[in-house]
């Protein structure tokens, strides 16, 4: 009889989690080739060798009302993962953000005696700080991306380790402006504005029409301007194509070239999320935009404890990039802020200087390997 290989379950619930889960999986397979990997994620995790029980691209949501329509799919995914935990318990479960789902799964794993590693835990510094105590009770180890998270989780009683942000591994050598423009076929002296409307259906539906409208206004003021839209891996390609086609302006849509689009652009209109930190690490000035339902907005105002929503401003601890939220995330305001960046080299340089500070704060590369070694230690699997 062949020996049963030890297993690790990785659970991610959205595009950024899929990205981080894939990087972790690659290092786990390199350090412990016999380990079997399963869980929930997207195309990147699948390519990294994770056997997916559920596809994240069909489940990711934002906001309270937006989640209602996805509850049946989320419940099916949860039941499938629980079935695996009971039928073939892994040596450890790695949870990546996605707290509403993952904390519920963590309770089940804890009852079954499966060790839990929370990699990129919920943003308790932004809202619902009580979750830090819950995570401390449930998780065997917490691996955090930001240094200021360490004391927060330590004070809650968690065993916490600062491993750094996974993006540092992906952006050790980002494309230069020239390389990116050559790859996209954009002239060196052209004015290029990048559009990143998010990865989830609700984000795209709410933001892309306004971004396209902003692009039209920018083109009126800067007739030489060109526009590129970077399609997120889990975004609905048909929806994006339909919304872009509705615009009289030519907007190039690129897939699998997000970093190239960021590096090639003079300014970005970007949905709040991981993409803002990616753009900062690449060094491209940006305007951050976001919209959620009215109910989600009302709940957020009651719960959120910090004055910003973009990771760039949160990590910097000050307003580095402009944020246009809800009713302020209009085509007119987006165009105004983007044109101000395009017209002011000093404003762009101020953002880039702050981005350099952020990179230094986040530590160095090797995040995936540090996280993988910690996961294997918890799982009791020698690398």
What six digits make up the tokens of 45? 């995790």
DSSP 20-55: HHHHHHHHHHHH-TT-EEEEEE-HHHHHTT-EEEEE
User: Would you say residue 141 has pLDDT above 70?
Assistant: yes
Q: How far is CA 107 from the centre of its chain?
A: 24
Angstrom CA distances, 289 to 176, 210, 250, 325, stand at 25, 10, 21, 6
User: Cα separations (Å) of 307 from 70, 300, 311, 316, 353?
Assistant: 29, 11, 12, 12, 21
| Average confidence (pLDDT) over 69-74 | 76
Tell me phi and psi for residue 196, to 5 degrees: -130, 90
pLDDT value, residue 324: 96
Query: Can you tell me which residue has the tokens 């246009």?
Result: 324
Is 60 exceeded by the pLDDT of residue 170?
yes
List the structure tokens of 89.
Answer: 């318990």
Query: Mind listing the pLDDT tens digit for each residue in 342-357?
Result: 999 999 999 999 999 9
Average pLDDT over residues 165-186: 94
Which domains does the chain show, CATH number per domain? 7-170+365-379 (3.40.50.2000), 177-361 (3.40.50.2000)
Q: What is the pLDDT of residue 194?
A: 98
Between CA 84 and CA 80 the distance in angstroms is 6
In whole angstroms, what is the distance from residue 54 CA to residue 75 CA? 11
- Which whole number is the average pLDDT over 309-318? 91
Express each pLDDT in 77-129 by its tens digit.
999 999 999 999 999 999 999 998 999 999 999 999 999 999 999 877 655 67
Average pLDDT over residues 51-65: 64
Alpha-carbon distance of 361 to 116, in angstroms, equals: 27
What's the pLDDT score for residue 241?
93
Of 272, 262, 267, nearest to 325 by C-alpha is 272
For the cut 90, the answer to whether the pLDDT of residue 4 exceeds it is no
Close Cβ partners of 283 (under 8 Å, ≥ 6 residues apart): 174, 263, 352, 355, 356
Per residue in 244-267, is it b (16+ CB within 10 Å) or e — as a string? Answer: beebebebbbbeebbbbbbbbbbb
Mean residue pLDDT of the chain comes to 90
Q: Which pLDDT tens digit goes with each residue over 237-290?
A: 999 999 999 998 999 999 999 999 999 999 999 999 889 999 999 999 999 999
Contact 352, 344 (CB under 8 A): no
What is the model's pLDDT at position 294? Answer: 56
pLDDT at 260: 98
| Nearest partner of 17 among 201, 193, 145, judged by Cα | 145
What are phi and psi for residue 3, nearest 5 degrees?
-65, 145
At 148, the pLDDT band (50, 70, 90 cuts) reads: confident
Burial of residue 59 (CB within 10 Å: 0-12, 13-18, 19+) is: buried
Q: Which residue has the higher pLDDT, 195 or 130?
A: 195
Instruction: Give the pTM.
Output: 0.82
Q: What pLDDT is attached to residue 127?
A: 58
């Amino acid at each position: 009889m062949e020996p049963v290989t030890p297993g690790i379950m990785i659970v991610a619930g959205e595009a950024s989690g899929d990205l981080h889960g894939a990087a972790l999986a690659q290092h786990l397979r390199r350090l412990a080739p016999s380990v079997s990997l399963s869980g929930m994620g997207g195309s990147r995790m699948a390519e990294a060798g994770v056997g997916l029980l559920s596809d994240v691209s069909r489940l990711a949501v934002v906001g309270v009302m937006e989640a209602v329509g996805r509850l049946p799919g989320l419940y099916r995914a949860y039941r499938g993962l629980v079935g695996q935990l009971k039928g073939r318990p892994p040596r450890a479960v790695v949870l990546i953000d996605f707290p509403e789902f993952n904390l519920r799964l963590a309770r089940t794993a804890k009852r079954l005696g499966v060790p839990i590693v929370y990699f990129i835990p919920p943003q308790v510094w932004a809202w619902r700080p009580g979750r830090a105590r819950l995570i401390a009770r449930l998780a065997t180890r917490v691996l955090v991306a930001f240094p200021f998270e360490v004391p927060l989780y330590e004070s809650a009683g968690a065993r916490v380790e600062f491993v750094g942000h996974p993006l540092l591994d992906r952006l050790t050598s980002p494309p230069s402006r020239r390389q990116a423009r050559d790859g996209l076929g954009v002239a060196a002296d052209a004015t290029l504005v990048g559009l990143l409307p998010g990865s989830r259906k609700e984000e795209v539906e709410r933001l892309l029409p306004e971004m396209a409208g902003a692009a039209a206004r920018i083109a009126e003021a800067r007739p030489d301007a060109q526009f590129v839209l970077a399609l997120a891996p889990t975004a609905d390609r048909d929806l994006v194509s339909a919304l872009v086609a509705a615009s009289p302006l030519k907007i190039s849509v690129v897939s699998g070239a997000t970093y190239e689009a960021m590096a090639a652009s003079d300014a970005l209109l970007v949905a709040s999320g991981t993409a803002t930190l990616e753009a900062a690490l690449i060094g491209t000035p940006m305007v951050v935009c976001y919209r959620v339902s009215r109910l989600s907005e009302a709940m957020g105002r009651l719960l959120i404890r910090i004055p910003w929503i973009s990771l760039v401003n949160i990590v910097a601890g000050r307003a580095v990039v402009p944020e246009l939220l809800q009713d302020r995330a209009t085509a007119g305001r987006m165009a105004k802020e983007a044109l101000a960046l395009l017209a002011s080299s000093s404003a762009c340089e101020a953002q880039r200087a702050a981005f350099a500070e952020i990179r230094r704060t986040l530590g160095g590369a090797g995040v995936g390997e540090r996280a993988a070694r910690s996961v294997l230690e918890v799982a009791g699997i020698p690398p």
